[in-house]
């Protein structure tokens, strides 16, 4: 995917949430409490999945590399695009500059 396609496909945070939700549902959501993939219900107001057996709630980011991050999904998706778009790779400092992040540790 090139940058033009990315901008049209993911124009805002909501489009990233819908894409990730559909991908997670297709793949199957793994409950950390039950230790297996079970049926989950989606709560659109809180944007979380709830296990039908133990009622444990998990966010869209849980179980991914984005789990403990405060960055938006849109920022994460842009980072994934930048990392995969270059043949030679991308330094952390360049990624920070391109995404407009304030801190290096992010």
- pLDDT above 70 for 106: no
CB 63 within 8 A of CB 47: no
Helix residue spans in 1-106 (DSSP H)? 3-9, 13-27, 73-85, 92-99
pLDDT tens column, 46-79: 889 999 889 899 899 988 899 989 999 999 999 9
pLDDT tens column, 18-48: 999 999 889 888 888 888 787 888 988 888 9
* Owner of token pair 């940058």: 3
DSSP-based helix, strand, coil % in the chain, nearest 5: 40, 15, 45
Q: Whose CA is closest to 75, among 2, 1, 6?
A: 6
């Amino acid at each position: 995917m090139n940058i033009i396609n990315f901008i049209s496909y993911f124009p805002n945070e909501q489009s990233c949430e819908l894409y990730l939700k559909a991908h997670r549902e297709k793949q199957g959501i793994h409950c950390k409490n039950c230790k297996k993939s079970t049926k989950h219900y989606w709560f659109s107001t809180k944007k979380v999945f709830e296990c039908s057996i133990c009622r444990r709630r998990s966010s869209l980011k849980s179980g991914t590399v984005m789990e403990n991050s405060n960055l938006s999904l849109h920022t994460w998706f842009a980072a994934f695009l930048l990392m995969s778009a270059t043949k030679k790779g991308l330094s952390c400092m360049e990624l920070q500059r391109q995404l407009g992040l304030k801190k290096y540790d992010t």
